[in-house]
Amino acid sequence: VGADAEIMAPVTSDFEVGMEFDYTNLYGHTEKAPLYNFFLSRHNPLADSYPYPTEELIYKTNVLSVLGTARWYFLPLGDEFNIFLKAFGGVSFTGTDFTFRDPYYRVEYDVGVLYARGTRNSDYPKRASFSGGAGLGSTVRLTDKLDLYIDGTASFINSDIVNGVPNYDYFEVDGN
Per-residue pLDDT of the chain (176 residues; tens, 9 = 90+): 788 888 989 999 899 999 999 999 988 887 776 667 677 766 777 777 676 777 888 889 999 999 999 999 999 888 889 999 999 999 999 998 888 888 888 888 788 888 888 888 888 888 899 999 999 999 998 998 888 889 899 999 988 777 777 776 655 556 54
**pLDDT value of residue 173:** 59
Specify the pLDDT at position 106: 82
The beta-strand segments (E) located in the chain are: 2-12, 15-30, 57-76, 81-100, 115-117, 127-141, 147-157
Per-residue pLDDT, 168: 65
pLDDT at 34: 67
pLDDT of residue 83: 94
pLDDT at residue 31 in the model: 78
Classify 90 as helix, strand or coil: strand
For residue 64, the model assigns a pLDDT of: 94
Residues 6+ apart with CB under 8 A from 166: 38, 43, 115, 117, 160
pLDDT of residue 84: 94
